[in-house]
Structure 1
Amino acid sequence: MNIIEAIKDPQLFRHWLAPDGNLRSWQPWLAALRSLYHIPGKGKHGARLAAQATGHSPSVINTYAPYDVGLFLTGRRSGKSRIAAVIAAYEAVLAGHQKKLAPGEVGVVPVLAPTMKQGRIVKGYLRAIFDLPLLQGELATETAEGFTLHDGTRIEIMAGDYRKVRGYTLLAAIIDEAAFFQYEDTAKVNDTELVRALRPSLATTQGKLIAITSPYARKGWCWYAYRTYHGSHARTCSAALIWQAPSRTMNPTLPQKVVDDALREDYAAAKSEYLAEFRDDVAAYVDRSVVEAATDAGTPERLPRPHTAYTAFADLSGGRNDDAALAIAHKEGERVIIDYARQWRPPHNPTTVIEDMAAELRRYGIRRCTGDNYAAEFVAGAFRANGITYKRAPLPKSGLYMEFLPRLTSGLITLPANPVLAEQLCNLERRTRAGGRDIIDHPPGGHDDLANAVAGVATTAATPARLVGALAI
């Protein structure tokens, strides 16, 4: 049974997707799945939609189908998560992958989301699918992480940590909201590394890698796949099917007013969220190769040296959600060397963290520290109580990043071997606002506390002190 037959079967997915049994509003998704699985019967409207969504003629699409990789770039409220659940259930139960497994080998279908909280949306849909009469008997056990079937196959709901998908034999892999896999404290949430880790695990079964997402920034695997394989600019579509369509194309029942209101409120965001276009106001701050070239591999920290003038920058937080961070640097000619970069993860007590920071500053012979304006008087007073003068940075965060970037790209910064720092720098985004003003910040759900401290100390250390009378300020 192919996936289209399963969707149309009244005892399987038909009435789950459309309670009245009428699949008319799901026809765009059926056309997309026909293209991915190379199932005839799109009809003239489906063929026209496929050509529009992929940027390729039907003959080109059919030449390379079925595809091992599918990337569906569709807007919000287009039915992405429900289709992800249907694909996961089909691949686990009905696609016939089990015959490809060796005796005792367990097949897994992971549904990967940026966070477990997001993954639970698809899990809820899967729970309802396994209540369907023909699938009810397939389910052996359910846990918080997923489902185990009577033949041993597992459907696992996972956050997208690329390190945790290795070693499995995968029947298929479904990535939900793939464009929003971002770095947080380490490189563990990253669509590029995730796809790289999944491919070998799919090799045994020739399973499909299917990503379903709204587009976002022009970076990462989603942007690479779109740029390489979609439309007239692609040399071929043989490696992947890239399907791009607005919300209302994939879900005709979505009111046009919802889209129009969103476009009026924030045009750039709504183009991404409802028109399925990559944002042109969001770009990567710095290329990974630049960060790697600036990193002194194997040197996570430099110990204090005598007769060296050190500079420090602190990024403080309330201790509940955000990290606190401290960076220390010195200057050698025009080059700024980042000697020390440390973060304090939440939850933490800000007073205790400032005491720890003050101890590190004294270790490097530092008696004054620059930092952001978080809870300014409290922070200044806490540092003062520990013998450190605290000074507010003259530039906001975006200004510090603007000053830091040309020094970094010119090879005038030496970074410590710190993977958290590297990922935070590589994940920074440059967003253009009205009037051409650029904002540089972490992506939604991300962090940049350590990157901010390093940019702050590098900018502070590189700025010559001004002399007023006999005092340097």
Structure 2
Amino acid sequence: MNILQACADPKLFAPWFRNPATYSAWFTFLAALFALPMDDQQLAIFRQFTGRSEAPRQPFNEAWLVVGRRGGKSFFMALCAVYLACFRSYREYLAPGERATILVIAADRKQARIIIRYITAMLTRIPLLSKMLMGEPKAESFDLRNSVTIEVGTASFRSTRGYTFAAVIGDELAFWRTGDDSANPDFEILDAVRPGLATIPSSVMLCASSPYARRGALFDAWKRHWGKDGAPLVWRAPTLAMNPTLSKRIVEEAMERDAASARAEYGAEWREDIEAFVNLDTVEACIRTDMKLRPPERDRFGSYFGFVDPSGGSADSMTLAVAHKEGNLILLDAILERTPPFSPEDVVNEFAKFLKQYGISRVEGDRYAGEWPREQFRKRSIEYRTAELTRSQLYTELLPVLNAQSVDLLDIQKLVNQLVGLERRVARGGRESIDHGPGGHDDLANSVAGVVTMVSRHQIRAVTRTYTVRV
């Protein structure tokens, strides 16, 4: 039984499609993915959303879906996972005791829960499929009697190794992040799972997402494969084409609020108003040693600077960066980070003791929480001054320093990842902002940008004062 027959069978998936006519684009995608016969109407839909001229002659081992928000991606990813798990046999490719895994990777736990609910409903409410379950479904995995396991996880390249995969399904690929803010988690995760797919000839890697910035694995696949016969399947379609039941007013209102965002979320267009702030090669060129800390030197007391990125202790990290200048080079000496949950007062006390090791009695930081940081640091004999520049302005000041390789950063991968993960956005009216991407963090990057800017501006003021005296 092929997947379209299963979708039409009242004893299988048909009850999930109350109005089958509204799923015509999705059924065409499934026909293309599994190389099933298409009628003239389906062939026209296929050509429209793939840019191809020839109908597929064999099933795809790799496919990419670029579909607008609320288009139905998560449901159809779950449907493909259940179908591939229940209607195919992989035993001839497995060693004794080995199981074939259908891995569904979601952007985060919240997204994973959506897919889990769909999979759970299909496997428990369809009697023919519930018989295949071994025991009660677990929180994030389903063991079947045919030596197949469906697992649902979140995006992490470390947890995807060592499996034999019958399929890997990546949901919302454009928004994947890992816990340590990996700069390119999508490429890393997909590279990690490809060896596990190689054992089973009919294995499938299916990645889906609404589009975001013009970078990453999804954009790379679209740029290389869309519209090319014989290449991996790339399907791009706006929300209303895949889900005509969604109210057009929702899309229209989104366009009125933020046209650039709405064109990506509902129109499946890549955002041209977002680009990378700095590339990996530039950041790595500013790491000259493998040092992760430069101990204080007492003869340099008075030349060290400190910048704090405060936090309330429940959501973001609280960070501290220390730096000084030698000749024309700014040296990053230390970075401290305390991840939540934590007591803010305890962290202030720790940071104050650390600052005194470098002879620092005055720091700068952002305007977080009003008077609170100033009061807490003052109690510990550290003056806290509010930075004159905003977060975006600090990053703007940091960029030419990085490009000129005028800073020697510490060899801390998380810092590198956060710097590379920064995005430059252009809002309506042309105003630029620089910040971390969706789901990312920039606490370390912010404190480093702050302290580098402090050192750089201090040097400029010092040179200006010297020049004035000489005149």
1:48 counterpart residue number:
44
Find the residue that maps to 2:429 and give its secondary structure.
helix
Residue identity in the other structure for 1:44: D
Does the 8 Å contact 1:310/1:330 carry over to 2? yes
Q: State the Cα distance separating 1:333 from its structure 2 match.
A: 2.1
1:258 aligns with 2:254: no
Match of residue 120, structure 1, among 110, 113, 116: 113
Q: Work out whether residues 91 and 97 of structure 1, in 8 Å CA contact, stay in contact via their aligned partners in 2.
A: no
Alignment partner, residue 145 of structure 1: 140
The aligned residue for residue 469 of structure 2 is none
State the match for 1:227 in structure 2. Answer: 223
Q: Which whole-Å deviations, capped at 9, do the CAs of 1:41-94 have from their partners, x for residues lacking one?
A: 2x222212211211221x2x536x422211101111211111011000011111
Residue equivalent to 1:5: 5
Q: Aligned equivalents of 1:414 and 1:8: distance in 2?
A: 63
Distance (Å, rounded) in 1 between the aligned partners of 2:368 and 2:406: 29
Any conservation in 2 of the 1:113–1:176 contact (CA below 8 Å)? yes
Query: 1-side partners of 2:265 and 2:186: how far apart?
Result: 19
Aligned partner letter, 2:12? L
Distance 1:463 1:158 in 2: 46
| Post-superposition offset of 1:8 | 2.1
From 286, 295, 299, the equivalent of 1:307 is 299
Q: Cα 1:469–1:282, aligned 2, differ >3 Å: closer, same or farther?
A: closer
Asked if the contact 2:184/2:216 (under 8 Å) is kept, the reply is: no
1:328 is displaced (CA, Å) by 0.7
The answer to whether the 8 Å contact 1:2/1:95 transfers is: no
Provide the C-alpha distance between the structure 1 equivalents of 2:368 and 2:75, rounded to a whole number of angstroms.
42
1:170-185 paired onto structure 2 within 5 Å: 170-185=165-180
* Residue 33 of structure 2 corresponds to residue 36 of structure 1: yes
Letter in 2 for 1:405: L
**Counterpart AA for 1:259:** V
Residues 5-154 of structure 1: matches in 2 within 5 Å?
5-16=5-16, 18-19=17-18, 22-41=19-38, 43-57=39-53, 59=54, 62=56, 65-130=58-123, 131-141=125-135, 142-154=137-149
Contact persistence 1:114–1:160 (CA under 8 A): yes
Name stretches of at least 5 consecutive residues in structure 2 with no aligned partner: 467-471
Matching of residue 195 in structure 1 with residue 190 in structure 2: yes
Q: 1:297 to 1:91 in 2, by over 3 A?
A: farther
In structure 1, C-alpha distance between the alignment counterparts of 2:275 and 2:229, rounded to whole Å? 25
TM-superposed CA distance for 1:98, in Å, is 3.1
How far did 1:174 drift? 0.7
CA distance in 2, matches of 1:189, 1:343: 22
Deviation per residue, 1:362-400 (Å, 9 max, x gap): 111111111111123211111111111111111000000
Residue 6 of structure 1 aligns with an amino acid whose one-letter code is A
CA-CA distance at 1:195 after TM superposition: 0.8
| CA distances 1:15-60 after superposition (whole Å, capped 9, x unpaired) | 22x13xx42111101111222221122x222212211211221x2x
Q: What is the rounded CA distance, in whole Å, between the counterparts of 1:135 and 1:94 in structure 2?
A: 10
Alpha carbons of structure 1 residues 36 and 85: separation in structure 2 relative to 1, 3 Å? same
The answer (yes or no) to whether the contact 2:181–2:417 under 8 Å persists in 1 is yes
In structure 2, what is the Cα distance between the partners aligned to 1:409 and 1:32? 45
- 1:160 paired with 2:155, answer yes
Residue 462 of structure 1 aligns to a residue whose secondary structure is helix
Answer whether contact 1:71 1:243 (CA < 8 A) is retained: yes
Distance 1:120 1:454 in 2: 36
Q: Deviations over 1:296-325 (max 9, x none)?
A: 452111111232221111000111111100
Aligned residue type for 1:171: A
1:100: Cα distance to partner?
A: 2.2
Match of 2:401 in 1: 407
Question: Residue 246 of structure 2: SS of its match in structure 1?
Answer: coil
TM-score normalized with structure 2 length: 0.93
The 10-residue stretch of structure 1 (29-38 or 236-245) with the greater mean CA deviation from structure 2? 236-245
Equivalent residues of 1:114, 1:189 under 8 A apart: no
Aligned amino acid, residue 15 of structure 1: P
**What SS does the corresponding residue of 2:458 show, helix, strand or coil?**
coil
Partner of residue 356, structure 1: 350
Q: 2:280 aligns with which of 277, 288, 291?
A: 288
Name the CA distance, whole Å, in 1 between partners of 2:293 and 2:352: 17
Over 3 Å counting, the alpha-carbon distance change for 1:469 and 1:195 in structure 2 is closer
The reply to whether residue 459 of structure 1 matches residue 453 of structure 2 is yes
Opposite residue 62 of structure 1, the aligned amino acid is: P
Paired residues of 1:68 and 1:239 also in contact (CA < 8 A): no
Shift of residue 278, structure 1, vs aligned partner: 1.3
- Measure the CA separation in 1 of the matches of 2:133 and 2:259: 45
Shift of 1:237: 5.1
Displacement of 1:327: 0.5
Cα 1:405–1:230 shift into 2, 3 Å: same
TM-score (norm 1): 0.93
Query: Retained in 2: the 8 A contact 1:214–1:276?
Result: yes
Cα offset, 1:469, TM superposition: 9.2
Q: Which amino acid aligns with 1:219?
A: R
Distance 1:263 1:453 in 2: 35
Give the deviation of 1:239 after TM superposition: 4.2
Q: What amino acid maps onto 1:348 in structure 2? A: F
Q: Distance in 2 between matches of 1:292 and 1:225?
A: 26
Secondary structure class of the residue paired with 1:50: helix
With over 3 angstroms needed to count, the CA separation of the structure-2 counterparts of 1:176 and 1:322, relative to structure 1, is: same
SS in 2 for 1:464: helix
Letter in 1 for 2:371: E
Unaligned runs of at least 5 residues, structure 1: none
Letter in 2 for 1:200: P
| Structure 2 residue 381 is the aligned partner of structure 1 residue 387 | yes
2:445, 2:179 → 1: CA distance? 12
CA distance in 1, matches of 2:79, 2:331: 53
Distance between the aligned counterparts of 1:282 and 1:237, measured in 2? 30
Identity value in percent: 39
Q: Report the equivalent of 2:333.
A: 339
- CA deviations over 1:325-376 (Å, ceiling 9, x no partner): 0011111222211111121101111111111111111111111111111123
Query: CA offsets, 1:216-247, max 9 Å, x none?
Result: 1112111111112113xxxx454421110001
Q: 1:237, 1:301 → 2: CA distance?
A: 53
TM-aligned CA deviation for residue 189 of structure 1: 8.2
Residues 274 and 423 of structure 2 are in contact (CA less than 8 Å); yes or no, is this contact kept in structure 1?
Answer: yes
Could you tell which deviates more after superposition, 391-400 or 370-379?
A: 370-379
